[in-house]
Chain A
Amino acid sequence: MQCDAVDVAVVGAGPAGLAAAAAAAELGLSVALLDEQAHPGGQIYRDVTQAGVDRLQVLGDDYAAGRALVERFSQSTARHVGGAAVWNISRDRVIHYLKDGRSRSMTAGHVILCTGAMERPFPIPGWTLPGVMTAGAAQILLKSAGVAPSQPVVLAGCGPLLYLLAWQYLRAGVRIGAIVDTTRRGDCLRALPHLGGALAGWRDLRKGLGLIRSIRDAGIPHHRAATDLAVEGGEQATALRFRVGATSHRVQSDLILLHQGVVPNNQITASLRLAHRWDDQQLCWVPAADAWGRLELDGLLIAGDGRGIVGGSAAALQGQLAALAAAHDAGRLSEPERDRRAEPLRSALRRQLHIRPFLDVLYRPKIQHRVPADDVIACRCEEVTAGELRRSVALGCQGPSQGKAFTRCGMGPCQGRLCGLTATEVIAHERGVSPAEVGHYRVRPPIKPITLEELAAL
């Protein structure tokens, strides 16, 4: 068995991972950055070093800014291990990963998890049909493949990414059939008390308002306060149905892009059985970590959206803080020096986080699109409906892990990634208790598919 040893292993090459790896390397530590993609950038800066002028032009300055992060990382001594699918991390920091059809191992003094975010599930009728994708998926296609919808597309849901994608599509000359917005006036009123914080982060606020204005100026049909979203179609999506007040609407399109925010991708922290708490503001699980990102196991740290949604710029700052903590804990940086370097990062982080409570309240996903009706599929892999989950509760099922035995919910190839939050919330509502009380799936390695041949070669 071939086994590498490094001072710091970073998992995930998005903003948090790039910044953490570069900062740790600059402090003299040996660093390896493992990432599932071939090129650094994560999803937010996906293929940013590969994108040509036309793609950069369409995607905008905030995307292009990712090149500076990649540049700093590339100039450091940190090693990039691309195309690496981490399938297990042990509690004593041995990392197992697949690369080029072989499983390899690495031991690390410190592991900084920067696994980022994934789209929140959007369980509505018809959401499994071909032609229904997440807005994030469509944006990844734009960033990594330079492709966009060939026919008028429908964007539905809520959250900054929905408007950003619409803005990018307008720049690319893509026709948008409609934006179906689930945000209501009541959400704006509830968000108002947080406007002070948002104004302190005025750059983000101005950017968001600019996006919404350009959508309005382009004359795209923008349906607000939409409810009861449902996709129509047999073999392929054909239309999106929804209501606004008492009026039913139907917009025809073969491509429906859904989005209601992103949530931490915590498959690794869950597989390590680390403590997670339910965050009722962001409606997701977040691993317990201190201000440096240190998790409850020695030598394990976390940075970026994986520890609660903060956005790319804040993620990069958290990555640097985690690197400082790792360097100090490894005896390579004195405490006063660690704290001195951390101070400007912390104040920048505070500024970055000003707008977050405002966004969390304004774009809080609607309960009907999180805890769906009985006939809606919750688990896409095993095709388990919300109704089957509810019936299992009536039979005595207490939580998602037990729900697997009752219904097979969460036992398909995605290993509960896409139905985890739905299972937790459906069961919690049915039992009339908090999500914290029903818990989340027990996640077991391998967290990526590995063949027996690859396993046997270990």
Chain B
Amino acid sequence: MPTEPLFRPISAGAEPFIDVEFDGRRLAVPGQRSVAAALLVAGVSRFRSTPVSGAPRAPYCMMGVCFECLLEIDGVANTQACLVTIQPGMKIRSQEGARRAV
């Protein structure tokens, strides 16, 4: 759940905030950024827990290499949040533990 954000915009009042759904709750995030960047600014500092031990994880490389920012975005699991632009109304879920086989 959102806490004190680790990152903030360097210039005040830049882009407008947009509403997305994060883990079933409405969350206001800055637009025109990657999903990963937008969530970090909105105070989401934990994106998922690992399939192996359930350890918490968050974005590490921000360039599509590390796969730590994996989220379920609009129903698609294991999406690299640093490579997708945030859109109003996006339904985003953190990924807890291993994926369930449907």
What is A's interface to B at a CB cutoff of 8 Å? 36-38, 43, 52, 54-55, 58, 85, 118-119, 128-134, 136-138, 140-142, 144-151, 172-174, 235-236, 254-255, 265, 380-383, 412-414, 417-418, 449, 451
The answer to whether A130 and B57 touch across the interface, beta carbons within 8 angstroms, is: yes
Q: With A128-B57, A140-B62 in contact, is A147–B67 under 8 Å at CB?
A: no
Q: Which of B36-87 contact A (CB under 8 A)?
A: 37-38, 40-41, 45-47, 50, 52-53, 55-68, 70, 76, 78, 80, 83, 85
The answer to whether A413 and B67 touch across the interface, beta carbons within 8 angstroms, is: yes
B14 to chain A, nearest CB (A): 6
The answer to whether B37 and A147 touch across the interface, beta carbons within 8 angstroms, is: yes
Q: With A128-B57, A140-B62, A141-B62 in contact, is A148–B46 under 8 Å at CB?
A: no
A435 to chain B, nearest CB (A): 20
- By Cβ-Cβ distance, the 6 closest A-B pairs, closest first, are A130-B58, A145-B37, A137-B62, A413-B67, A150-B8, A147-B7
> Which residue of chain A has its CB nearest to the CB of B3?
A236
> Which residue of chain B has its CB nearest to the CB of A412?
B67
What is B's interface to A at a CB cutoff of 8 Å? 4-11, 14, 30, 33-34, 37-38, 40-41, 45-47, 50, 52-53, 55-68, 70, 76, 78, 80, 83, 85
The answer to whether A148 and B10 touch across the interface, beta carbons within 8 angstroms, is: yes
CA distance A418 to B63 in the complex (A): 12
User: Which A residues are in CB contact (< 8 Å) with B45?
Assistant: 130-131, 236, 254
Choose from B9, B52, B70 the contact partner of A146 (Cβ within 8 Å): B9
Choose from B8, B33, B65 the contact partner of A265 (Cβ within 8 Å): B65
The answer to whether A418 and B65 touch across the interface, beta carbons within 8 angstroms, is: yes
User: Which B residues are in CB contact (< 8 Å) with A265?
Assistant: 65
CA distance A271 to B80 in the complex (A): 21
Choose from A119, A129, A137, A146 the contact partner of B56 (Cβ within 8 Å): A129
Choose from A118, A140, A151, A418 the contact partner of B6 (Cβ within 8 Å): A151
The answer to whether A149 and B61 touch across the interface, beta carbons within 8 angstroms, is: no
CA distance A65 to B37 in the complex (A): 25
The answer to whether B46 and A144 touch across the interface, beta carbons within 8 angstroms, is: no
Q: With A147-B37, A383-B52 in contact, is A417–B58 under 8 Å at CB?
A: no
The answer to whether B40 and A147 touch across the interface, beta carbons within 8 angstroms, is: yes
List, sorted by A's number, 20 A–B pairs whose CB atoms are closer than 8 Å: A52-B11, A54-B11, A55-B10, A119-B61, A131-B58, A133-B61, A141-B40, A144-B33, A144-B34, A145-B37, A147-B8, A151-B6, A173-B10, A235-B56, A236-B46, A255-B6, A380-B60, A380-B66, A382-B52, A451-B76
B58 to chain A, nearest CB (A): 4
A262 to chain B, nearest CB (A): 11
> Which residue of chain B has its CB nearest to the CB of A382?
B52
User: Which A residues are in CB contact (< 8 Å) with B61?
Assistant: 118-119, 133-134, 136-137, 418
The answer to whether B50 and A383 touch across the interface, beta carbons within 8 angstroms, is: yes
CA distance A125 to B45 in the complex (A): 19
Q: With A36-B83, A145-B37, A146-B11 in contact, is A130–B66 under 8 Å at CB?
A: no
User: Which A residues are in CB contact (< 8 Å) with B38?
Assistant: 145
Choose from A147, A150, A381 the contact partner of B4 (Cβ within 8 Å): A150
CA distance A412 to B52 in the complex (A): 10
